């Protein structure tokens, strides 16, 4: 088994997986997460096909590679920059360059022991 990539950028977590699950649907490339307070967002740019299923998001990254970027919402001027791999102005976190492959993305959750529940981290 090959070494699979794992990591995070802020509250967005990712891991490389062997193949796309069979029950996912292709969706338009859109931000993976928005900062509820900060006006930032996490986006994938480059050679990316995005999928959703089972409450998760998946990306199939082609030979052109892709970049996970953390930018201010106002810096996403138009959808055409979503297909480019160039680095956009950085909000807080440095961009991460992804080699070709299939990746699963999720949002970090935190446990509230007083309510005995897990909830999504708010940025």
pLDDT digits (tens, 9 = 90+) for 70-105: 888 776 766 566 777 777 766 677 889 999 999 999
DSSP state string for 49-80 = EEEEETTEEEEEEEEEEEEEEEEEGGG---GG
Cα(17)–Cα(15) distance, rounded to whole angstroms? 6
In a domain, 28, yes or no: yes
Our count of domains for the chain comes to 1
> Hunting for tokens 């807080």 — which residue is that?
92
In a domain, 80, yes or no: yes
Enclosing domain of residue 101: 6-120
This prediction's pTM: 0.80
In a domain, 19, yes or no: yes
In a domain, 1, yes or no: no
In a domain, 106, yes or no: yes
Q: What is the residue-averaged pLDDT of the chain?
A: 81
């Amino acid at each position: 088994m090959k070494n699979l990539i794992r990591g995070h950028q802020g509250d967005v977590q990712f891991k490389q997986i062997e193949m796309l699950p069979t029950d996912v649907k292709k969706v338009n490339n859109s931000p993976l997460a928005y900062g509820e307070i900060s006006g930032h967002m996490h986006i994938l740019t480059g050679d990316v096909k995005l999928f959703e299923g089972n409450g998760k998001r998946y990306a199939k990254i082609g030979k052109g590679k892709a970049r996970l970027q953390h930018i201010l919402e106002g810096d996403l001027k138009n959808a055409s920059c979503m297909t480019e791999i160039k680095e956009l102005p950085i909000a807080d976190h440095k961009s991460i360059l992804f080699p070709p492959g299939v990746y699963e993305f999720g949002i970090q959750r935190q446990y509230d022991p007083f309510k005995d529940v897990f909830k999504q981290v708010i940025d």
